[in-house]
Amino acid sequence: MARELSPYVELERSAWAALAGEAPQPLSQEEIDRVRGLGEELDLEEVRQVYLPLTELITMRIRAAAGLYRATEKFLGNPQPKRTPYVIGIGGSVAVGKSTTARLIRELLANAPERPSVELVTTDGFLLPNAELERRGILDRKGFPESYDRKGLLRFVMNVKSGAEVVEAPRYSHLTYDVTDEPTVLHSPDIVIVEGLNVLAPARLRGDGSPGLAISDFFDFSVYVDASSKDIRRWYVERFLTLRRTAFADPASYFHRYSSYSDEQARDRAEELWDTINWPNLRENIQTTRGRADLVLRKDSDHGVKWVRLRKM
Ligand SMILES: Nc1ncnc2c1ncn2[C@@H]1O[C@H](COP(=O)(O)OP(=O)(O)O)[C@@H](O)[C@H]1O
Ligand SMILES: CC(C)(COP(=O)(O)O)[C@@H](O)C(=O)NCCC(=O)O
């Protein structure tokens, strides 16, 4: 039977890996280890076969977008246009490995011949402060769309895409489990990566029922990091058990109380957090945005990417 036409092209890992150009993989295992998140698997082979073709594709699209930008500015009669940053959104579940993907893409993009400056901003900085979440009775909804300062996040992305010289983004601390007063300051970088659970969320409805703008309206490219929810749950629980021995052991950690939990108690608590917060959020608000991404990276149970799906132009 003929395969149905689709707006996406899906490539098995081997077919995707074969698209890598001649350029050598620029990162050493030590550099890869530095971007690798807790519990993640990432080696030279994975970077070469999966993430190098991805960043080659993005670099090619950045160059093409520059041509399009120059043509548009010429049309508008602007003789000395200053380009706005190229914005890349990276979304997916809690514990799927978005941060590792984002940090790796940042390193690989920064190694392109143009040596672009690349900044990375995570959307957790736009979570409402714990005091405010508590006031609204939604401290147990952290990561759900309503737990963010969505206007602030939209303003931030619009400021970046307006070409503002200096743009600030608030920063979150996993140690204190709250937003900090030390923002990330961007000085018109060439590329901005925005990583977070809800970056591909559709626009909210305004008071009159009409849709507003979504941050993804200002993305030049977007990636959704995907895996089976069964695998993600296991990664979340395993990471929680490791955090108990590492980050939670710090008395300053908001989760310090868990450091004295037995394996069984910690596992129960992690499963409860997953089943009552992170899984419902994934099911209701995150998975539903996957089709909006330009590219989906589907991971296997060992974190290796199994297939890649790219939206046709
Ligand atoms: N409670 C925590 N304490 C310390 N670090 C954490 C905690 N929760 C998550 N992290 C770290 O924060 C980063 C982001 O985690 P998360 O939002 O789950 O996204 P992802 O796993 O997709 O990168 C990861 O590097 C993770 O290891
Ligand atoms: C901080 C997060 C909401 C992720 O935020 P993001 O940067 O993806 O917007 C998440 O990592 C988190 O802490 N969730 C709360 C539930 C839990 O502790 O698992």
Which pLDDT tens digit goes with each residue over 204-233? Answer: 888 899 989 999 999 999 999 999 999 999
Q: Which one of 1.10.10.60, 3.40.50.300, 3.40.50.10860, 3.40.190.10 gives the CATH number of domain 9-311?
A: 3.40.50.300
Which residues have CB under 8 Å from 159's CB, separation 6+?
Answer: 167
What is the number of the ligand 1 atom nearest to the C-alpha of 255? 1
- Ligand 1 pocket, residue 214 CB under 6 Å: no
Q: How far apart are CA 285 and CA 132, in angstroms?
A: 22
- Ligand 1 pocket, residue 200 CB under 6 Å: no
- Ligand 1 pocket, residue 247 CB under 6 Å: yes
The answer, yes or no, to whether residue 79 has pLDDT greater than 90, is no
What is the number of the ligand 1 atom nearest to the C-alpha of 95? 21
* Sequence spans of domains, the chain: 9-311
* ipTM, 2 dp: 0.90
pLDDT-based confidence at residue 195 (cuts at 50, 70, 90): very high
CA 211 from centroid of its chain's CA atoms: 24
The answer, yes or no, to whether residue 1 has pLDDT greater than 70, is no
SS (HEC) of 240-268: HHHHHHCHHHCCCCCCHHHHHCCHHHHHH
Ligand nearest the Cα of residue 171 is: 2
Is the CB of residue 223 less than 8 Å from the CB of residue 89? yes
Q: What is the mean pLDDT of residues 250-257?
A: 95
Which pLDDT tens digit goes with each residue over 94-145? Answer: 999 999 999 999 999 999 999 999 999 999 999 999 999 999 999 999 999 9
Per DSSP, the residues of 114-153 read T---EEEEEGGGGBPPHHHHHHTT-GGGTTSGGGB-HHHH
Q: How far apart are CA 177 and CA 124, in angstroms?
A: 10
